[in-house]
């Protein structure tokens, strides 16, 4: 039986993937609504900007579907370095360098670039307007915003573009300097080794062939 009482002194363990998930969750909630205002200010009809169909923290270039029409527009959120740590007492906070990319498809290169630019601008507007992300963060700083075309991995010559933003997200209290567990958990006992087979006995029950076979 494993004793878990000695884990009581563990503090929080907020890491990069937690940042990914928090930003994705917030964008899933607010980006569709915010895009309505973006369309109005760009003098475009409702739903001219397709609502994101897929959110992820990374993508696999070997996955043929990662830019499929069913997944576009796709929003990628990737928190990278956690640096410039701040200590207050036994609490540590950190700034996470985070990249957010929206990949979309247009009917032409010009339209694809325009849409990618609007997606990137909208994401930035959300983050600088709602900097707490429902209490998860304590400030977001815009570093850069850029647009670039994307080669179509399906070789169908679709017009794809990416709107990319880089942000510094300040997350408080990601670690506590605690005493930690009082004692190490003993390792699980090794399972009993499987017995080695040295001999195999096979019983064969014979049956005589029938002697009543008819001649052809």
The pLDDT of residue 172: 95
The pLDDT of residue 2: 44
The pLDDT of residue 50: 95
Residue holding tokens 């930690």?
180
Positive or negative, the CA dihedral 97, 119, 149, 42 is negative
Dihedral angle at the C-alpha atoms of 142, 148, 153, 159, nearest 10 degrees?
120
Q: Fill in the DSSP letter of residue 121.
A: H
Structure-block tokens of residue 34: 């915010």
* The model's pTM: 0.78
Can you name the residues that pair with 160 across neighbouring β-strands?
Answer: 105, 150
The pLDDT of residue 78: 95
Q: What is the pLDDT along the chain (216 residues), one digit of tens a residue?
A: 344 455 556 788 899 999 999 999 999 999 999 999 999 999 999 999 999 999 998 866 556 677 788 889 999 999 999 989 999 998 999 999 999 999 999 999 999 999 999 999 999 999 999 999 999 999 999 999 999 999 888 778 899 999 999 999 999 999 988 766 777 777 777 777 766 666 656 555 555 545 444 444
The pLDDT of residue 151: 87
Positive or negative, the CA dihedral 93, 95, 96, 99 is positive
C-alpha 40: how far from its chain's center?
30
Contact 175, 92 (CB under 8 A): yes
Question: What's the fold here for domain 12-59+67-176?
Answer: Alpha-Beta Plaits (3.30.70)
The pLDDT of residue 169: 97
Q: Fill in the DSSP letter of residue 130.
A: S
């Amino acid at each position: 039986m494993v004793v878990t009482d000695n884990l009581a002194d563990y503090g929080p363990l907020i890491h990069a993937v937690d940042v990914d998930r928090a930003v994705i969750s917030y964008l899933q909630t607010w980006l569709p609504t915010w895009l309505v205002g973006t369309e109005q200010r760009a003098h475009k009809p409702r739903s001219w900007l397709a609502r994101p169909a897929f959110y992820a923290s990374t993508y696999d270039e070997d996955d043929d579907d990662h830019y499929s029409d069913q997944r576009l527009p796709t929003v990628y959120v990737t928190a990278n370095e956690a640096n410039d740590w701040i200590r207050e007492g036994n609490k540590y906070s950190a700034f996470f360098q985070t990249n957010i990319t929206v990949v979309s498809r247009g009917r032409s290169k010009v339209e694809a670039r325009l849409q990618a630019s609007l997606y990137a601008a909208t994401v930035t507007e959300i983050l600088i307007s709602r900097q707490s992300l429902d209490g998860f963060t304590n400030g977001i700083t815009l570093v850069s915003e850029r647009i670039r075309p994307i080669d179509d991995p399906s070789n169908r010559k679709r017009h794809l573009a990416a709107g990319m933003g880089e942000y510094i997200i300040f997350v408080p209290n990601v670690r506590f300097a605690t005493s930690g567990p009082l004692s190490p958990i003993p390792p699980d006992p090794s399972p009993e080794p499987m017995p080695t087979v040295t001999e195999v006995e096979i019983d064969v029950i014979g049956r005589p062939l029938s002697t009543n076979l008819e001649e052809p």
